[in-house]
Amino acid sequence: MKIIGVSASARKNKSTHFLLNECLNEFKRTSEQLGKSVEVELIDLSPLKINGCIACDKCKKGVLCSQEDDFQTLIPKLADPEVLGLIVSTPVYMGCMSSQAKAFLDRTVLFRRNGFMFKNKFGGVIAVGGSRNGGQELTIQAVHAAMMIHDMIIVGDGDHFGGAAWANHPDGYEGDGTGISTAKNLGKRMCEVACMMQI
Ligand SMILES: Cc1cc2nc3c(=O)[nH]c(=O)nc-3n(C[C@H](O)[C@H](O)[C@H](O)COP(=O)(O)O)c2cc1C
């Protein structure tokens, strides 16, 4: 099985990426404990050019997209039936997900329009805000909404909604122990559920 993490920050190797890595590492650790072999891939959207959906409806004719941008490179990765789950990590921008996350999610409509290709895949979300309570939970739920529209199975961190972290923690985002725990717990929980459902 394979799990894909998507870092939807405008910035490379910052807090959004860091928290996703923590989550994916925990996923891998848990899978090893459970004796399962899992491939993990992190897709960093920051260097990619992904336009918003233009509603041309080309994807109603097949797993196709008319826009010749970097989303094309992601289509085969996301269409891989080996992929059991998707973890989206996004910064909080103006109380919700980044435009990078929204453009990415909107463009995934082509998988829905071609037989609900994400149906029954596991979905988890991490949101990182500049403030402790800057909209992380609302952001997580907004991404959950897109996942539900794909008929994915949403998994939380075993306590609340998913990973919720504070980038401007006085000790830096690497020092936000509470936030890091939520991201790790999400990875652990995603793996537990994925392994349980596979049996
Ligand atoms: C346009 C913009 C809007 C933002 N809005 C919010 C916000 O509403 N709430 C919040 O907590 N942080 C907000 N922030 C701060 C980012 O969420 C924070 O810096 C986050 O860590 C960025 O992720 P990164 O470290 O991967 O770049 C905003 C930042 C930007 C650039």
Q: 9 CB less than 6 Å from ligand 1? A: yes
> pLDDT per residue over 159-171, tens digit each?
999 999 999 999 9
Task: Say what the pLDDT of residue 1 is.
Answer: 86
Q: If we measure between CA atoms, which residue out of 113, 197, 146, 193 comes closest to residue 6?
A: 146
Residue of the nearest CA to atom 26 in ligand 1?
16
> pLDDT per residue over 94-126, tens digit each?
999 999 999 999 999 999 999 999 999 999 999
Residue for token pair 């041309």? 56
How far, in Å, CA of 96 to CA of 126, rounded?
A: 12
The CA 175 to ligand 1 mean position distance, Å, reads 17
The CA 68 to ligand 1 mean position distance, Å, reads 29
Looking at 55-149, list the stretches that DSSP marks H as alpha helix, in order from N- to C-terminal side.
71-79, 99-107, 109-112, 136-149
Do 71 and 20 meet the contact criterion of CB atoms below 8 Å apart? no
| CATH fold of the domain at 2-51+73-198 | Rossmann fold (3.40.50)
What are the structure tokens assigned to 75, written together?
Answer: 């289509």
pLDDT score of 147 more than 60: yes
